[in-house]
Structure formats: C-alpha cells, structure tokens
Amino acid sequence: MTVSELNQFVITSESQIIEFLCTAKVTGIDQADGWCYIGCSVCSKKLLRETSSFTCVPCNVTNAVAALRYRVTLSVSDSTDTASFLGFDIEMAKLTNILASEASQIVLMFLGIPGIGADARVDTELPQALAELVGKTYTFQLKLNDFNFTSKHQTFTISRIFPERALAPLPAFVESGNNPDEPVAEAVAPDTSARVGTTCNDT
C-alpha cells in the first residue's frame, strides 16, 4: 500500500496487529524528541534519572547500567502522502552501520556508573550518519498495533528496513480454506505472529 493508503487504513479499519511493507523516501529527521535516549542495557527501556544514578523500572534495578540507544522519527513521503516512521536501536544501527553511542555528540559524565553518567546531555546536533538518510528511499516493514488505531497515534513503528527494494520479500497470497475469495498473506519476515499487508509500489 501507499503512504496514503496506510494513513487511511488506521482511520477506517478496526484495531488489530498487522504488518505492512511500504516504500517511501526519507524527507527529514524530526528532532522534536531528540534522536536517542538513555536506556537499560538489559531490557532497552528508558531509564529514570536519579540524583546520581539511573533506575530501570521494568527490571526493578537501581544503579542500572545505561546504554545510549537510537529512537529516530523519520519524516517520509511518496507520491501520495506523508507520514512519520519511528525507528529504534537495532534497525537504525544496522541502517547506519554505527552504534548510537558512537554516533552521538554526548558529554559523558561518569558518576561511578558503567556507561553514561546521570548528568550526560545529548547534543542537539544531528549525527552525520542520520543526516545522510535524508533523500534516500527505503522499503520499511511497519508493525501496527492497537495504539495506531487511536487518535493519539502519531507514528508507525519500524520493525525492519530494507535499503534496496530488491531485498524486501514480496508477500505471497494463497487461498483461504474457509473463503476461497479471501487471500491470506504469508509473513514477510520470520518469527512474527502478525498478519501482513501488501507492498506499496510508489516511491
């Protein structure tokens, strides 16, 4: 589907967990919320900043080991519409070939914590590795969940990125045993229980 069809899908369809392939051009990096965050080195969740340490609520650990991780909002478009795609650490590191900690312009203050100090600040300057994504076209595998179908939805979460369209798997359709007129999409990626939508053709 196109970007326009993707935007319309979350407006007109019932909430569900589903994945789509969508090819679009990166037109910018939204820096309103920064491009990275300080996360737990174990579960990757955002850490709570204390006076001289970090706390991980999901792990129930104080003095948690911190790690800088990507959280990048990509502004994208095709010939039909615009949208915002949200990329997290693993996929963004694969795409840029550089870790967030290596790409960062961070002032590190080590207060006895392995990793990033509690008073560390993220520079507002965008790393070159991210700036170079602007103007390039990628095929994005997007995972939609119930939140995407609410009025608070602002971004689509990226589960995989294919730098070249040829690398993106094409969805295959087979007849459903219950309804011969209803195609069933096979998964575009292994280890996923979500249903898969169609690949968009516009860039």
Cα–Cα dist 157/144, whole Å = 7
Domain 3-199 belongs to what architecture? Answer: Beta Barrel (2.40)
Per-residue model confidence (pLDDT) at position 127 = 83
Per-residue model confidence (pLDDT) at position 202 = 47
pTM for the full predicted model: 0.72
Per-residue model confidence (pLDDT) at position 122 = 53
Per-residue model confidence (pLDDT) at position 65 = 84
For the sheet containing 54-56, what is the strand order?
Answer: 48-49, 54-56, 61-62
Per-residue model confidence (pLDDT) at position 110 = 30
Per-residue model confidence (pLDDT) at position 62 = 84
* Helical (H) or strand (E) element with 7: helix 3-12
Please, how many CA atoms are within 13 Å of residue 108, restricted to the half-sphere of its CB?
A: 13
> What is residue 147's DSSP assignment?
G
Task: Show me where the domains of the chain are located.
Answer: 3-199
Report the residue count for the chain. Answer: 203
From residue 189, alpha-carbon distances to 30, 43, 158 in Å are 28, 23, 13
- DSSP-H helix ranges across 74-121: 89-96, 100-103
Q: Give me 26's structure tokens.
A: 């990166």
From residue 26, alpha-carbon distances to 73, 83, 150, 163, 198 in Å are 10, 10, 25, 12, 20
Give every CB contact of residue 172 below 8 A, 6+ residues apart in sequence: 185, 186
Per-residue model confidence (pLDDT) at position 170 = 54
168 with 24: CB under 8 angstroms? no
From residue 185, alpha-carbon distances to 119, 173, 193 in Å are 48, 5, 12
Q: pLDDT tens string for the chain (203 positions)?
A: 899 999 999 999 999 999 999 999 999 999 888 888 888 888 988 888 887 788 888 898 888 888 888 999 999 999 999 999 999 999 999 999 989 888 875 333 333 334 444 444 454 578 888 999 999 999 999 999 999 998 888 899 999 999 865 555 555 444 444 443 333 333 344 443 444 444 344 44
Residue 12's CB is within 10 A of a number of other CB atoms, namely 8
Per-residue model confidence (pLDDT) at position 168 = 56
Token pair 């949200």 is at which residue? 86
Beta pairing class for 82-88 and 156-162? parallel
Cα–Cα dist 197/203, whole Å = 17
Per-residue model confidence (pLDDT) at position 39 = 87
